[in-house]
Structure 1
Amino acid sequence: MSLSLSAASLSIDWNAIITSLLQGMQWLQLGILKLLTLVGAAPDVDGQPAWPFASRLSGEALLIDRNVVRALLLALALTAVGLTLAVLALVRRSLRWRVTLLSTAIVLFFATPWPERHLLTTAATPTSFHLSPTGFSAASIVHGQQLYAQQCIACHGADGKSDTPLALSLKVAPPNLSSGLLWRLSDGDAFWSIRHGKAGMPAFASQLSPGDTWAVLDYLKANAAGQSITETGAWQRPIAAPRIAVDCASDGPAVRSLDQWRGQRIRLLVAAARGQPQASEDPRFQSVLLDPTKLASTAPTGSMGSIGCRNTDRVSLQALSIITGLAANDLAGAELLVDKDGWLRARKRRGEAAWSDADMLCQSAQAASSKQAQQLAGIDALIATMDADRVHYVQGTFVH
C-alpha cells in the first residue's frame, strides 16, 4: 500500500502560529504585570497599574518576517526540551542519569539560538498595557469628536491627515492619523503619547482628563474608519460596532447593550425617511432599529414597526455617521451588518434594492469569500463570508 501526502495536508497555518505567539507574549506580560501589582511593584498611573520597565515584548517582526517566526519556534522548542530534561534529572535516582540529563539541559539553555533582542522587544511606556474603559461607546466617540475639534484639529485637520497650514509650518511633521499609525500602537502607548507628548507633539495631560484622552482615541479610530471607507470603499482595518444602548420591547423597561449579543449576528437599521419603504425583522439576525426622531412610531404593522429592539438617542447615529463616512441624513434607510464577534462587516446604503458582494466592506485579503458563499447570492453570501472569514485583529502586536 502506497502512502502519499498532498501539499494541502502539509500546509502550515502561519497566521494561526503567529497569533498564538503574539497571544503568548501578551499573556506572559499581563501575568507579570498582575504579579507586580499584587506585590505593590506596579504603581498606579491614570487609574491602572503601570508597566515599570523601559521595554516590552513586541511581535512586530513576527508579522513581517517568517524567518524570525521560525527562529523563535526553534528556540522555544529547544527550551522546552531543556526544561523537560531538567525535570527528568530531578526525578531520576541514578546519579549518572541525573548528571547526563542536567548537563544536556544546561547546554541547551546556553546554546539555544534566540532571535536578536531588538527583533522581539520595543520601547514601552508606563501605560503600554492600559485598556480603554469606554468600551468604544457611541457616547465616547462623539465626546472625543468634540474634544478633537477643540484641541487637535488645528494641526491634524478634520480628516486627520495632518496637512493643515499649521502642521506644514512645524519642524516635525505631525503623523497622519487617518493612516495605519493607530494600529501600529497599542491603545496604552497612544494614550501616553497624547497625554505626555511625542516627537514634537505637546503634552495634553493638563487639557484632557484620562477619560477625555480615551474618548479622543475612540474618535480617532472611528474617524480613520470613515476616511478609509470614503477613500477606498472599504474598512481597510477592522472596526468594532460602537456600544449603543438598546431598548427591547420584549424585555419590558430593561435596556440592553449591543455587546450582550456577542455570538449572534446583528443588523443595525437606520430609520428611513417618513413615507419611504421600511425594513422588517430577519430571523438570521438580532435586528436593532436606530430611530432618534422616532420615524417608525407610526410605521404600518408588519414593517419597521415590528422590530422590537430600538435605539433612539442621537449620539449613536452620529457615531455611525463618523465610522461610515456618511452624513447622518445620508444614513437614513441604511443597514449595517455586525458579525458574531462584534465587528462591522457590511453596509447597504439607502436606495439599494438588495445586498450584493460589493456591500462587504471588511474581509481578509486571503479569503475574499468562502466556497459556500460562492454558491450563494445576496445577503446569504455575506452571512456565509462573515461566518467563515472571521476577523483576526492585531493592534500594536496585541491580539484583540
Structure 2
Amino acid sequence: MSGPPPQAWLNALLVLIEKCQLGLLWLWHALGLTGTSHGQPAWPWARRIAGETLLIDLALARQVGLSLCALAFAVLAVAFAIAWRRGRPMLLAAAMLALLLAPWPQASLLLGPASPTSFHASPTRFAVDAIALGQRVYTQHCAACHGHDGRGEGPLAGSLPQWPPTLASPLLARRADGELFWHVLSGMQDRRGQQTMPAFRGELRDREAWAVIDYMKALSAANSADGNWPVPLRLPEMAIRCGDASPVALSHWRGEQRVRLVAVDGSAASLPYEDPRFVTVLVTPDGRAPAQVPRFRAGCTATSTQAWQAMAAIAGLPPAQLAGTQLLSDRAGWLRARGTPGSAWSDADLVCVSGPAAATRAMPAGIDGLTALLLRMDAEPVRFVKGGFIH
C-alpha cells in the first residue's frame, strides 16, 4: 500500500506552518507586543519560516514534518505523564527520546527574511476593478523596467544593476502577497546594499500597491510560456445580476458551483446556452445585459464596466479580440481552463494543472471534451499556500 502523494503531505505541512505563524502573529498583537503596519498586525521579527524553501527542498520538508511529529508525540506523552503517575517515568523518557531523535532542521535553512507586512492579506479580493486599476499603475510605474508583458525586458531593464525578474514564472507565486506589497512600497536591494528596485511609497497609495499585485498575477498568467499558469488565479470578484434579481458577488457560488465566464459582444446570437454543470456569466464591454435573452440562453451578466478589461488581461488578449473567449473555474473558485472562440473544449484548454501525473490520468471512453475536462478538474484540486504552493 503506497503512501499519500508528495503534493498532499507537503501541502498539509505548508498550511500548518502558515496557520501557526498567523496564530502567533495574532496572539502577539492581542497581547500588545506588536503594533500595526498598513492597517494590519505587523510581523515583529526579521525572520519567518520560509514555505517557499520547503517547497523546493523535499528533504528539508521531511525533516520539518518528522520533527513536528516528534514534538507532538512529546507533548502528548508529557500530558499523559501528568495524569498517569505510575507510567510517568516511562512516558517522560519516551518524550525526551523522541525530541533527541528528531531530525531538527538547521535554522539557517528553515528561516527566511521577513518584513512587517509578510503575513498581510490583500483587501482587494482580486476584484476586476482592482485589476483594472493595477494595469494603469503598472503601465505608468513598472512597465519601463519589467516590460509590458512582465518578462523583465522593459526599455530601462538593461540600465539596471540587476536584470528585473520575469513575472511569467512561479517566482511571483512563491512570494507572499504581503512581501510583494512591502517591496512595491519600500523597494529592493541586493546583498551589497545596492538598490535594484526603487521604492514607490511616496507615489502609490496602499490601494494602488495592492492593485498592481493583482494585475501582476493576471499578467503572469497571460504571458505563461507553456500554457500552464505559474500563478493559480481565483475567479476575479465582480457583481453579477441574473434577470431582475439584485446583484450578487461572483464569490457567492464559491464552494458550491463551477462558473464559466463568457465574453460576448451583446448580440442575442452570440449568447451561449445554459449548462447545469456550471453557472454561466456573460461579460460584456459595457457591463450591460443583452436587451433580449432567448429561452435556454445564459442570462447572468457581470455589471462592472471593468470586467471586460480584467478578463482580457487574464486571457492575454487585446480587449478588441476578447469576444468569444471563455474562462472556466472549478467549484473552489480557481480558474482552471480557457476556451477559444469556435473551438471545442479539450485537455489543451487547461491552464492550471495540479500534478505531474495529470497528463496521464485515464478518462472514461465515449465522453465529450468538456465533460472530461470537468471530471479532471474535480479529480485534481488546486492546492495553494501563500509563500509556497503546490499547483
TM over 0.5: yes
Query: Which residue, out of 149, 155, 171, partners 2:161?
Result: 171
Equivalent runs, 1:193-342 vs 2, <5 Å: 193-199=183-189, 200-228=196-224, 231-249=225-243, 251=245, 254-262=246-254, 263-272=256-265, 274=267, 276-293=269-286, 297-299=290-292, 301-302=294-295, 306-342=297-333
Question: C-alpha distance in 2, partners of 1:47/1:30?
Answer: 16
* Code of the aligned partner of 1:292: P
User: C-alpha root-mean-square deviation of aligned residues, in Å?
Assistant: 2.4
Q: Kindly provide the CA deviation profile for residues 16-63 of structure 1, in whole angstroms up to 9, marking residues without a partner as x.
A: 111111111111111111111111112110111100011111233432
Distance in structure 2 (CA, Å) of the matches to 1:286 and 1:369: 29
Change (3 A) 1:384 1:98: closer
Which structure ranks higher in relative contact order (CA pairs < 8 Å, sequence separation ≥ 6)? 2
> Structure 1 residues 21 and 144, CA, compared in 2 at 3 Å: closer, same or farther?
same
Q: 1:398 to 1:346 in 2, by over 3 A?
A: closer
Output the TM-score relative to the length of structure 2: 0.90
Match of 1:72 among 50, 54, 64: 64
Distance across 1 between alignment mates of 2:111 and 2:280: 44
Secondary structure at the counterpart of residue 183 of structure 1: coil
Code of the residue aligned with 2:173 in structure 1: it is: W
Within 2, Cα distance between the matches of 1:273 and 1:32?
A: 51
Matched, 1:394 2:377: no
Q: Give the structure 2 partner of residue 55 of structure 1.
A: 47
Q: Are 1:25 and 2:17 matched, yes or no?
A: yes
Name the CA shift for 1:74/1:179 in 2 (closer, same or farther; >3 Å): closer
Answer yes or no: is the 8 Å Cα contact 1:370–1:389 preserved in 2.
no
Residues matched between the structures, number:
383
- Mapped contact 2:148–2:154 kept (Cα < 8 A): no
Q: Partners in 2 of 1:372 and 1:272 — Cα distance?
A: 35
Structure with more helix by fraction: 1
Change (3 A) 1:10 1:348: closer
Identify unmatched segments of 5+ residues in structure 2. Answer: 190-195
Gaps of 5+ in 1: 1-8
- State the structure with more CA Rg: 1
Q: Distance in 2 between matches of 1:79 and 1:72?
A: 10
- Partner in structure 2 of residue 379 of structure 1: 370
CA distance in 2, matches of 1:398, 1:361: 16
CA contact (8 A) 2:274 2:298 kept: yes
Greater mean deviation of Cα atoms: 375-384 or 279-288: 375-384
Going from structure 1 to structure 2, the CA distance change for 1:297 and 1:273 (only over 3 Å counts) comes to closer
**Corresponding residue SS for 1:368:** helix
Give me the TM-score of the superposition, normalised by structure 1: 0.88
Render the CA deviation track for 1:123-149: whole Å, top value 9, x for unaligned: 111000000000000000000111112
Q: Matched residues, percent identical?
A: 40
Answer yes or no: is the 8 Å Cα contact 2:47–2:112 preserved in 1. Answer: yes
Distance verdict in 2 for CA 1:312–1:81, change over 3 Å = closer
Query: Which amino acid in structure 1 is aligned with residue 280 of structure 2?
Result: S
Aligned pairs for 1:96-245 (under 5 A) are 97-199=87-189, 200-228=196-224, 231-245=225-239
Q: 1:331 to 1:106 in 2, by over 3 A?
A: same
Write the distance in 2 (CA, Å) between the matches of 1:346 and 1:235: 10
Question: Could you tell me which of 336, 350, 353 is aligned with 1:360?
Answer: 350
